[in-house]
Amino acid sequence: MSSPQTVRDSAKKLVNLLEKYPKDRIPHLVSFKDVQISRFRRVAGLPNLDDAGNSVKEKKPSLDEIKSIINRTSGPLGLNKEMLAKIQNKVLNEKFTEESINEQVRALSTITTNKFRNYYNVGDKLHKPAGNPSYYQRLIDTIEGKKTETMFTAMRTVLFGK
């Protein structure tokens, strides 16, 4: 059984590693990095920070508060008792152990160091296929917003494959 202090220390290591994780190339409504940092800051006992680095108090209800609301009310939002029982049974209670957090630390560190990308290195034969050598570079340029295809170039690509 892991002590709460060792779980907090492991969560602090995970938060430090998550802060080094690169920012998403494509902006999303919710970022993996931000969600995981706020999740494990709670476990580590660290305050949540905003973009400027100031401490922010959470406005979202905790899991216990949600369970309490479900238990106290007979039918919020028009839900019947059977549906409430199903929801209550499905709500997870996160219990972290030192081992589970250390597994996540190892997984995240292998992702950030590109261990498997370097281990299973593919050559130019796959990155630049003979039939369409600029295909992957064109996809990356489109994702990064460097080049955009016009309707004519898109049709040319579909018809002729180049």
pLDDT digits (tens, 9 = 90+) for 24-78: 777 778 888 888 888 888 888 887 776 666 666 656 667 777 777 767 666 555 5
Whole-model pTM: value is 0.55
Inter-residue contact 104 to 17 (CB < 8 Å): no
Distances (CA, A) of 142 to 69, 116, 125, 138, 148: 47, 25, 22, 6, 6
